[in-house]
Amino acid sequence: DSKYFCATARKRGYIHNLPIQNRFPLLPLPPLTIYEALPLTRKWWPSWDTRTKLNCIQTCVGSAKLTDRIRKALEEWDGVPPMSVQKYVLDECRK
């Protein structure tokens, strides 16, 4: 009986099946960029990291070992690290 069907209650969460009429955003609107969400980070953000948005913030599952590897890779260089290190850091942050 589809009378009581709810797309959000399904195991796979078929959000795309929900009607789009009469939708409205939840208020207050969340920050859309890194600098809106974390304004104090601008001072320390590396110039070579051009990301303006993060995929997600999952600090509860962040790896201390990964953070340590990134720190060690960056500590070896004074100033701007070489492209290979920049790529490594950005690739690890995108995971």
Q: How far apart are the C-alpha atoms of 47 and 63, rounded to whole Å?
A: 24
Task: Write the single-letter amino acid at 77.
Answer: W
Would you say the pTM of this structure is higher than 0.75?
Answer: no
Among residues 50, 51, 43, 92, the alpha carbon closest in space to that of 71 is found at 92
The number of domains in the chain is 1
Predicted pLDDT at 88: 93
Confidence of residue 1 (pLDDT cuts 50, 70, 90): very low
Q: How far apart are the C-alpha atoms of 85 and 8, rounded to whole Å?
A: 42
Q: How far apart are the C-alpha atoms of 74 and 89, rounded to whole Å?
A: 8
Summarised one tens digit per residue, pLDDT across range 28-38 is 888 888 888 88
Summarised one tens digit per residue, pLDDT across range 32-60 is 888 888 888 888 888 888 888 876 655 55
Range of the domain at 50: 2-94
